[in-house]
Copies of this chain bind each other. A is one copy, B any other.
C-alpha cells in the first residue's frame, strides 16, 4: 500500500476486507463479513446486529420525499436481518441534519421510519441527532434468530440451486429502492420449510452479492440469462450490476429446490437462476454460449 492510496483506489470492499482482519471482535459468534453480526443470546436463539448508513447525494436526493428516506433506512436494515433468517427487534436512529432543514421534513422522515418499524414490530428506542452539512441517517438494528434457522453466506456447495425472490435491475430509476418491502415473509417461509444453504440480500447488485456467497463458501456458479427475472426497464447489464434490489439471493440443495418449486408458497415467488459449481463464474447467454465473468457490482468508491 502506498501512502497516497485513497478509497477510490481500493474500493469499499477492499477496505472492509482489510479492516475485518484486524479488529477485536469480542465474543461474537460471527462478526464482520455477513449481512448482520451474530451474537450470543440464549440457548436456542442468537441476536443479530446490523447497521446501514444513507446519505443525501448518494442514496437519495435532496428533493426525495423524507418519508421515503425514513422508510428506506429502516427497510434496508430489516432486509439484512431477514437475510440471516431473523426477525427485527429494536433500532436506534442517528440523524445528521442541516440546521436549515425544515422541522416538517424531519417529522415526515420519522413518520416514514415509524410506519416501516410498526409494520415489522421493530421498536425505535433511541439514537442521536447532530448537525451536518447534508442529511445523513444511520439505522442500527438488533434482531433475533432461532439458531436452527440461521443462514450465513458460507454454506453453498457445488450442485446447489441458486434462486432469487424477485426481479432485478433498474431499482434506482424506477423508485423501487425507496419503496421496496423487505422480504421478511419469504425469508421466514424459507428458513422454516426449505432452509437455504446460503443467503444474502441483493443490495450491492446481483453479481456482487453472488460473489460474496461464492467467496464465503469457496465455490463457483453458473447463471442462465434466460432465467433471470428482470424489472421493467432493466437491461441485462442492469439486472446483473445495479444495486438496491433488496431481493433475497439464496442457494438450496437440488432436492429442496425441486420441492420448493412445486410447493404452495402462499403467493411468494422464487426464481431459479443457476447452480453452484466448484469454481469460477460462468454466464450462459440465451444462445447457450458460455461467458466467464468477473464479479462486478455496486461499490461506492468505484463509480
Does chain B have a CB within 8 A of A255? no
Residues B15 and A121 in contact, CB atoms below 8 Å apart = no
| Known interface pairs A7-B97, A97-B7; A23-B124 also in contact (CB < 8 Å) | yes
**Interchain CB contact (< 8 A) of A92 among B5, B51, B121:** B51
A123 to B29, CA, bound (A): 11
Residues B90 and A26 in contact, CB atoms below 8 Å apart = yes
Distance of A20 from chain B, by nearest CB (Å): 9
Most buried by B among A98, A99, A130: A130
A27 to B96, CA, bound (A): 27
Does chain B have a CB within 8 A of A259? no
Residues A15 and B129 in contact, CB atoms below 8 Å apart = yes
**Interchain CB contact (< 8 A) of A90 among B34, B37, B97, B300:** B37
Interface on chain A toward B: helix, strand, loop, or mixed SS? Answer: mixed
Residues A24 and B123 in contact, CB atoms below 8 Å apart = yes
Does chain B have a CB within 8 A of A61? no
Does chain B have a CB within 8 A of A172? no
A: number of interface residues (CB 8 Å): 84
A50 to B10, CA, bound (A): 31
Q: Which residues of the partner chain B approach A33 to less than 8 Å between Cβ atoms? A: 126
| Known interface pairs A6-B103, A58-B132, A103-B6; A123-B90 also in contact (CB < 8 Å) | no
Q: Which of A78-115 contact B (CB under 8 A)?
A: 89-90, 92-104, 106-107, 110, 113-114
**Interchain CB contact (< 8 A) of A125 among B3, B18, B32:** B32
Q: Which of A53-95 contact B (CB under 8 A)?
A: 53-55, 57-59, 89-90, 92-95
What 8 A-B pairs come out closest when comparing CB atoms? Answer: A26-B123, A140-B140, A37-B125, A53-B94, A51-B92, A138-B138, A31-B125, A23-B124
- Given A8-B99, A39-B142, A130-B300, 5 additional A-B pairs, CB 8 A: A3-B102, A27-B123, A28-B125, A55-B96, A99-B301
